[in-house]
Structure 1
Amino acid sequence: MRVISHLILCCIVIVTLNGCFFSDKEDQRWEIEPKGSTSFALSRDGRFALLYSQQEQLLLWDLKEEKQLATLGEQDAQASSVSHIRISDNGRFAITATQTNFAVWDLTISQADGLWSISDGLIRDVDIASTGEQVLLGLSNGKAIFIDLVTGRRIEFLAHQEKVNTVALSPNGRYAITGGNDYKAYFWDTRSGQALHVFEHPQRVNRVAFQRDGKLAFSSDGGNDAYVWDIKTGNKQAELSSFSRQLIFSTARFSDDGAMLITGTPSGRVQVWDTSTGDELNRWDVEPLKDTRPPRAVVYDAAFDSEQRIISASSAGIAQAWKL
């Protein structure tokens, strides 16, 4: 009994100390849309933010200068709600999408390069290459579609047997990762459409991400399984380890060197992980949307900035900075 008591006491101390190592104190805050947003994206360096709200439509912000750069307005003539936004790796272009169409924007001049409609499925996720010329779509009909907007070249990746929930495109547009309800994430070549690796999961895959140099990939499912993969070999490098009952992520992004991974959850938690061990390094809870019950906010995006901080963007219409 004494041994058991000591073990229980040790566990309590470990959990308590673990909580003490993490701080919820933010370093900076930008309250961009007080009524909340339906989609919110950050540039890779955490400087620029593009968000959509029913009240203000599409807004472009410079977080470093703490000012609004432009109002991009409505995406289409019907003022459809924008549900997905992704900014290219170099920060110049962005893709925004409703369920049935998508637009590409040149953020340097705050203008759209075009609007395209999708008729054979609902758009569930999007990504864009650094040139602004190649895009990747994940659809409800099980298709992942790669499109070169300049040449018109289109590849339909048909390996998924069910809905494609999440997509990621390499900065040069050459490779893609897609995850779906069929419990699989595929790493594939956008030139040939050939699958290069298959990453198996025990549940539906809901989040994938690329490390910008193409060395690592990330995939997670709707349960408690989240993995970092070695792209060259296709082998698992690490499995994220946490006391949380479920590891369901709404966003994920690697640091530039691939040493760390930042994730956000639908319940408002931001976490940083060691990609070599899968250990949690830090975590914070974002500001919830006002007057919501229960108080919560979805973390739509997160990034590492140049000041050794984490920048988070949530459905509360708020961006927050956290010291690593």
Structure 2
Amino acid sequence: MILQSLPRLLLVIVSIFIISSCQNEPKSVAEWQHTAIGALDATISRDGRFAMISSVNFGVGFWDLNKNQLLFQWKHDQNPESAIIALNISPDGSRAVTADARTFVIWNTTSGKAYGYWKAPADIRSIALSDKGRYVLLGLGNGLAIHIDMNTGRRLEFTGHRNEAVASVDLSANGRWAFTGGNDYRAVLWNTKTGKPHQLFEHKTRVTKLKLASSGKMAFTSGTKGNATIWNLQTGRPVNQLDLNPREYIISAAAFSHDETMLATGAPGRDVSLWNISTGKKVDQWRARTRQAGKPLGAIIYAVGFSKDDQFVISESSAGFGEKWPINAMP
């Protein structure tokens, strides 16, 4: 009788453990539904006040997160059926850019008006803006990264990626420094006035995500199988490598805190993580919500950011929800 009861007893114990684990999972302090079906991409402003989300069925929404208010709904009128697959908000928050496969549009975030439409010479994989939208940086599928002065029309083509797709780009606030990573296993920091590389970081896999710290002193890169590293941009040497587990091999979003002591990352497995930069250790982790009905049941974290006071991490996911996570004192 005792032996026959063991499987049932084991099932009860496992069930209790699962229920207890779900109940103990940290919860967000705020949650916003930003799309009705799902999202294709998202970005969060540097001060954590605004988010921009490309929806599956309704263009791009520009949201005030403090008020949970939709400020603008944008579409590419010249090709309204094209999916908008790349987004960015300028560091000063005054401009936003949306991109479909071949076209990008710069928007005024106060008036909501578009400044114009521009064509790219190849498929756009990633895009970044400087303050006031003065400069645009494109990462293209043909291996080029193009820096454009929107005031003068000057275009600088960077050819340092061995004809492999440029998957991720970032741009300094003043537009002087470009950071680009691609399928050629390298990330390059280069001067947009001269086109000359300043730092070259070789990886063991394709570079899929990178981010510049606003001070210009550090940067983050990650690849398809880990290699998630915080770099000192002055020396070119690693500050730390993130202590990842296998399910976190791919990083889909990253942001530095304002005081540059923390790094937030997002992953396709709906994990939002907080890291101590000085140690490379994880200090907190949260699980973004998924949609209650329909498929897929998971969620890709498209964007992470910090509140202005560095007290909260903000995330946006493919499930169409934004969430706000409280930061406990770092050990």
TM-score, length basis structure 2: 0.88
Partner of 1:266: 268
Partner of 1:14: none
Please list, as runs of the form range in 1=range in 2, the aligned pairs for 1:143-162 lying within 5 A after superposition. Answer: 143-161=144-162, 162=164
Question: Distance between the aligned counterparts of 1:96 and 1:305, measured in 2?
Answer: 23
Of 284-293 and 198-207, deviating more is 284-293
1:198-241 per-position Cα deviation (integer Å, ceiling 9, x unaligned): 11111111111000010101111100211000011111110000
Provide the identity percentage.
Answer: 38
1:275-296 per-position Cα deviation (integer Å, ceiling 9, x unaligned): 1211111111111134344511
Of 276-285 and 300-309, deviating more is 300-309
Residues 248 and 267 in structure 2, CA contact (< 8 A), matched pair in contact too: no
Please list, as runs of the form range in 1=range in 2, the aligned pairs for 1:36-115 lying within 5 A after superposition. Answer: 36-115=38-117
Q: Does structure 1 residue 312 correspond to structure 2 residue 315? A: yes
Aligned with 2:288 (options 263, 286, 289) = 286
Is the partner of 2:74 in helix, strand or coil? strand
Question: Distance between the aligned counterparts of 1:318 and 1:201, measured in 2?
Answer: 33
Please list, as runs of the form range in 1=range in 2, the aligned pairs for 1:1-324 lying within 5 A after superposition. Answer: 23-119=25-121, 121-161=122-162, 162-306=164-308, 308-324=311-327
Q: CA deviation at 1:134?
A: 0.3
Question: Distance between the aligned counterparts of 2:157 and 2:42, measured in 1?
Answer: 27
Residues 247 and 269 in structure 2, CA contact (< 8 A), matched pair in contact too: no
Q: Would the alpha carbon gap of residues 81 and 294 (structure 1) be closer, same or farther in structure 2, given more than 3 Å must change? A: closer
1:61-84 per-position Cα deviation (integer Å, ceiling 9, x unaligned): 111012121223445334311001
Is the partner of 1:131 in helix, strand or coil? helix
Question: Distance between the aligned counterparts of 1:135 and 1:74, measured in 2?
Answer: 18
Question: Distance between the aligned counterparts of 2:123 and 2:79, measured in 1?
Answer: 18
Is the partner of 1:38 in helix, strand or coil? strand
Of 190-199 and 251-260, deviating more is 251-260
Q: Would the alpha carbon gap of residues 293 and 203 (structure 1) be closer, same or farther in structure 2, given more than 3 Å must change? A: same
Residues 48 and 314 in structure 2, CA contact (< 8 A), matched pair in contact too: yes
For residue 274 of structure 2, what is the amino acid of its counterpart? V
Q: CA deviation at 1:183?
A: 0.7
Q: CA deviation at 1:319?
A: 0.5
Partner of 2:18: none
Which ranges in structure 1 are unaligned for 5 or more consecutive residues? Answer: 1-18
Residues 76 and 105 in structure 2, CA contact (< 8 A), matched pair in contact too: no
Q: CA deviation at 1:253?
A: 0.9
Question: Distance between the aligned counterparts of 1:39 and 1:83, measured in 2?
Answer: 6
Of 36-45 and 174-183, deviating more is 36-45
TM-score, length basis structure 1: 0.90
Question: Distance between the aligned counterparts of 1:202 and 1:303, measured in 2?
Answer: 27
- Would you say how many aligned residue pairs link Structure 1 and Structure 2? 304
Question: Distance between the aligned counterparts of 1:287 and 1:27, measured in 2?
Answer: 12
Question: Distance between the aligned counterparts of 1:254 and 1:246, measured in 2?
Answer: 18
Question: Distance between the aligned counterparts of 2:76 and 2:291, measured in 1?
Answer: 23
Residues 96 and 103 in structure 1, CA contact (< 8 A), matched pair in contact too: yes
Question: Distance between the aligned counterparts of 1:246 and 1:57, measured in 2?
Answer: 30
Question: Distance between the aligned counterparts of 2:81 and 2:245, measured in 1?
Answer: 42
Q: Would the alpha carbon gap of residues 290 and 245 (structure 1) be closer, same or farther in structure 2, given more than 3 Å must change? A: closer
Residues 253 and 266 in structure 2, CA contact (< 8 A), matched pair in contact too: yes
For residue 93 of structure 2, what is the amino acid of its counterpart? G
Higher Cα Rg: structure 1 or 2? 2
